[in-house]
Chain A
């Protein structure tokens, strides 16, 4: 399959596809980070995670509409406001959900799966009733348009670079939050031993709620970033949820680094194969490989070595 291209063409194909893969990687990482916190740290299967992302995307859409109608002069910076709005909206809804439903189901992980699936259906229909069934897109501010030419054949779009930088910033801040801050220490303490964490004075219920809200909030930011590279529909979340779960499981559920590594592997494999095979076959092959690897190595790529 490589024979019909010259070597310089192959290099640029790999570079372009690699870059497209990096954008996919950014979306995967942002979605998977939130899920890795919720699923990996708390053990809750949040099937509504995709819908929280779409909530973030719709919040960005709303903010951009408000800015273009009332504050056209500041349109260039609306995205940063939108991200905060998306984070707060998704995060507070997530915390509410934890308080009203998930809290009662920590001992029955398979049941959280069904309950959150129900929530995802309700959210989908709400999006459809409020924003309409058609896909919506935002207008990207001028400074994000265009692309940077690297060589004659390789061009890199600016919005892609922006999304990647955003991903790096968020990943680094999540790392510091989880591993260097007091709050992160509390979260990990609760995960490792709930009764002991409670005994030393950590309010475990509050930690649960904030952690869950944080995971959902990051999903909201992911949705916000998602609007920069694609349009949003009410059911778009469902398309990503399985991929995201696979990313988290493949990376080893309790390791943030593993999540990032596996998001990188999966997205690069998929986008490189996409050029040579049809899109659907590329996806089938990628998912199949991941599933087979998971069957051989159920604990994922990176796993904590602990006694169970």
Chain B
């Protein structure tokens, strides 16, 4: 890898964005907040995985999926199933009529562990399942839809229907899935208690590191030929097709990547919050995840993270103090993001803050150079 290719992969200003975000997540938040608030931030950041996936698939690829909650939920449920099996060993469930199975199964008169729960005794399998189950599911949906050139609005409606189906299924099959309460009361991961403060700190940092890995993958896709092709496809799909590219394969790939990101987010959500329920799978959470991405700016992977943090922070603050105002604020947010700021926070930054920063930087530089008696620098210098 030459210096040239590194520069192409990570231009100077993107490096600054990465460092700022890292500073915020790994230094500022942990130092300035108690563990309760930090845990909340960790929870918000799990949604940021979904938002980054949406930037790739909606912002770049032009595929609006209203079912990202499905993949978030699948990842979360895989992790929750493993944790639940671990916490319901025969020792701690001996008051049940069938010891050794999760408590909600016992309440629903199920006496035997269903077959699809069996493999989740194994941790390596669970980790694989978290990545593979949602990706394979996304692949199937993608092949069925994109190979037939279904896209845009129809794709959005069908993903929405899938989110709705999965929610009804989870709620309806209470004995196998925990129903509307979800899978609760998760305590340990491989014997390590995840509910202590120190565990929460560690999980927060693991979550942050995973988020940065996803950001780097997203950056790689963005800067590669694939990223440019996605943009081209979004604008003029036919022309890309006529140039000899198989458009549907790129779409399927990016949809699977977005699904895998969401699943990682879901799994980290389960670990940090300690439960998983169908209320993170359905249509409403899925559309909310789209708005996180839209507020941040649908073309900016960093914007997606900031947008997620901002909207969720606003949601928590509002619903703590004025619960009835929150839906109004959320509704207004949807409308104003679409009408007034189609490129979100990132767009505002690009058009307002960045020129100002560059101007200030140039002024400071000129001031110092003049004081030292050298000639003023050209004003075209940038950060």
Q: Which of A's residues lie within 8 Å of B, judged by CB?
A: 43, 45, 101, 104-105, 108-115, 117-122, 124-125, 128-129, 238, 242, 245-246, 249, 278-281, 283-284, 287-288, 290-291, 294-295, 298
Contacts and interface: CB of A to CB of B under 8 A. Distances in A.
A122 B158 contact: no
Given A45-B156, A287-B161, A291-B165, A128 B324 contact: yes
Contacts of A287: 161, 164-165, 168
Contact of B168 (A104, A284, A295): A284
Nearest to A39: B153
A284 B283 contact: no
Interface of A is mostly: helix
Contacts of B310: none
Contacts of B33: none
A284 B156 CA distance: 19
Given A125-B324, A128-B324, A118 B148 contact: no
Contacts of B168: 280, 283-284, 287
Contact of A280 (B161, B171, B324, B338): B171
Given A45-B156, A280-B169, A115 B338 contact: yes
A121 B331 contact: yes
9 contacts: A104-B339, A109-B152, A118-B335, A119-B334, A284-B168, A288-B165, A291-B158, A294-B158, A295-B148
Interface in B134-181: 144-145, 148-150, 152-154, 156-158, 160-162, 164-165, 168-169, 171-172
B327 A280 contact: no
Interface secondary structure of B, over-half rule? helix
Contacts of A112: 338
Interface stretch (B4-12, B87-95, B286-294): B286-294
Interface in B331-346: 331-335, 337-339, 342
A83 B335 CA distance: 30
Contacts of A45: 153, 156-157
Given A45-B156, A111-B338, A242 B327 contact: no
Nearest to A298: B150
Nearest to A111: B338
Given A113-B156, A242-B160, A291-B161, A105 B172 contact: no
A122 B328 contact: yes
Contacts of A115: 334-335, 338-339
A242 B154 contact: no
